[in-house]
Amino acid sequence: MLSVFSSPGHYVQGRDATAALGSELTRLGIDGPVLIVAGGSARRLLNDSWERSLTDAKIAYSVHDSSGECSRAELARITAVAQDTGSRALLGAGGGKVLDSARAVADDLGLPMISCPTTASSDAPCSALSVIYTDTGEFEAYQLVRRNPALVLVDTSVIVRAPARLLAAGMGDALATWFEARTCTSARVRNMRGGASTRSATALAQLCYDTLLSDGPQALAAVREQAVTPALERIVEANTLLSGLGFESSGLAAAHAVHNGLTAAPATHSYLHGEKVAFGVLTQLVLEGAAADEIDTVLNFCAEVGLPTTLAALGLADADSDTLSAVATRATAPGETIHNEPFTVDAAMTLDALRTADALGRRGRA
């Protein structure tokens, strides 16, 4: 098995980075027309900046308002717009689902894709992977695309205007990176690009975890004040770049499979991807028999930044056995990443781990 490391073509991050969009696209040889797939807040926050930067660079563009869901129906709508406008590149601006939609359509049409996240709520911006959901919000499939984004441009002056909950959710998603990378590397399973992990990917995954622990609470305080600080910049990089490189080039395991399982319970649909992944991390650690001090460190971190550590915190306070069994069954479906664990995992084991993680979270809250 060959070792494979994947990354975006270019990564640009900093205060008022959107002003450099036009020059960055010109440097990449992208001269338009560009279709911008935008979430509502992205269009409100960035419309004037796009006009200045892209007009100065003489790049034609149009904007399509995203539905906010990365579903087959939304992909079909974006594809029709891209074809009608003769677009030669797609730019996703908004949260993870908006970026996933732009990425999937760009791949289908053979066009370069640019990621411009307006939140640091997940590690979606850098990857060559789109997560497809049903129209009702249930996980459907991972869709691998042929190329990572040509450019990831992260404007931290925009990131800090998003709710603090979104930054915390990004930390929940990033929290899984080291634990899943560690598992996949030791089990010698294929990463998201079909190869073995490199030492670089593992090191980046561990740096991601270390950064969360050292800078997470301070960055959360900064974003509550809409302040761009060094700690905030480091956490944005951890949530976006380090986590993105780490998960894609090392692999996913139980934590993200538990997230997918939780989407089978409608009560969890209003909770964010990273919030469900954070509980998935606790479940994975229980499933693997991790040391108590490691679990306590994760519990304490989650409590400090406001991430869920119980089923009740994900809307499942009164979940019956059928609901939890459905979550465990979905998490262990054939092809799920929980099967990257270095031992055989079934629904009964996963259900026990879910319940035990919940008990540990309740004890910690008490």
305 is in an annotated binding site: no
- Residue 127, annotated ligand binder? yes
Q: 10 Å Cβ neighbour count for 67?
A: 16
The answer to whether 7 is a known ligand-binding residue is no
273 noted as active-site residue: yes
Whether residue 202 contacts residue 185, with contact meaning beta carbons closer than 8 Å, is answered with yes
Among residues 256, 293, 296, 322, the one annotated as catalytic is: 256
Measured at the alpha carbon of residue 298, what is the angle toward residues 294 and 299, in degrees to the nearest 5?
A: 115
119 annotated as belonging to a binding site for a ligand? yes
99 among annotated binding-site residues:
yes
The reply, when asked if residue 87 is annotated as ligand binding, is no
Q: Is 173 a catalytic residue?
A: yes
* Rounded distance between C-alpha atoms, residue 75 and residue 97, angstroms: 11
- 10 marked as part of a ligand binding site: no
Is 118 annotated in a binding site? The answer is yes
* Tokens coding 297: 């460190």
Buried b (16+ CB within 10 A) or exposed e, 76-103: ebbbebbeeeebbbbbbbbbbbbbbbbb
Q: Are 66 and 178 in contact (CB under 8 A)?
A: no
The torsion angles phi and psi of 39, rounded to 5 degrees, stand at -75, 165
Two structure tokens written together for 260: 């997918």
Going by C-alpha positions, the residue among 216, 232, 220, 244 that lies closest to residue 301 is 216
Please identify which of the residues 64, 107, 155, 273 carries the catalytic annotation: 273
48 labelled as ligand-binding? no
Is 86 labelled a binding residue?
no
Nearest-angstrom CA–CA distance, 116 and 41:
12
259 included as an active-site residue: yes
The answer to whether the annotation marks 100 as part of a ligand binding site is yes
Q: Look at residues 49, 12, 34, 193 and name the one whose alpha carbon lies nearest to residue 113.
A: 34
Would you say 129 is a known binding-site residue? yes
- Which of 107, 155, 173, 215 is an active site residue? 173
Task: Please indicate whether residue 339 is annotated as part of the active site.
Answer: no
Measured between alpha carbons, how far is 153 from 12 in angstroms, rounded to an integer? Answer: 5
Residue 98, annotated ligand binder?
Answer: yes
Catalytic residue among 259, 293, 322, 352, which?
A: 259
Q: Which residues are catalytic?
A: 173, 256, 259, 273
Binding residues for glycerol, as ranges, are 123, 173, 256, 273
Binding residues for NAD(+), as ranges, are 96-100, 118-121, 127, 129, 133
